Amino acid sequence: MNRNFLLGKFWNPDHVLEALEHLQDKGVKVYDVYAPFPIHGIEPLLDIKRTRLTVAAFIYGAFGLTLALTMMSLIYGVVWPVNIGGKPYIPWIAFTPITFETTVLFAAHGMVLTFFIIGPYWPGKKEVLMDDRQTDDVFVIAIDKKKISDMDGVKKTLSEAGAFEITEKEA
């Protein structure tokens, strides 16, 4: 299903923030902002909530830690105990590097899988570029045209904030 967007294109990230503030004051819901690099302070203006990916990372890491300690304890303490110079069968200190690496491995791979499952960024997905220059030097504010009640007012707000080009695109 294709949607129609009104695009405001800017050269300066400060002008993007200014335009977002004015649009928010007018009650216009911005679909997204496309930028060649992160713009600090833009999240509250776009109503972006804090990610819960850190919680998933903790759960995956805890699972990796538990799995590593359980496997090594069972293998070295129960299934195949080896007495080396009177040392204990389960040397916890010696398990530290492997436990750390397994924790990091499970957390990293789990986050990547969660990111691909939750977000629409699976391998082979066709990207949508609002403007070919958005990855180079142009900042783009995309507004869903269905959610705009005063088209002329929004265009005026974008141009007053410093948009050098205002176009429409179906994506």
pTM over 0.85: no
Does position 168 have pLDDT exceeding 80, yes or no?
yes
Measured in residues, the chain has a length of 171
Residue 49 banded pLDDT, cuts 50, 70, 90: confident
Of 34, 42, 43, 46, the C-alpha closest to 138 is 34
- C-alpha–C-alpha distance, residues 163 and 139, integer Å: 9
CB neighbours of residue 130 within 10 Å: 20
The stretch 94-110 carries a mean pLDDT of 95
Confidence at residue 150, expressed as pLDDT on a 0 to 100 scale: 86
Q: What percent of the chain has pLDDT over 90?
A: 49
pLDDT in tens, 5-35: 999 999 999 999 999 999 999 888 999 999 9
Instruction: From residue 165, give the alpha-carbon distance in Å to each of 60, 61, 81, 156.
Output: 46, 47, 73, 12
Residue 1 banded pLDDT, cuts 50, 70, 90: low
Q: Which domains does the chain have, with CATH numbers?
A: 4-50+138-170 (3.30.70), 53-118 (no CATH)
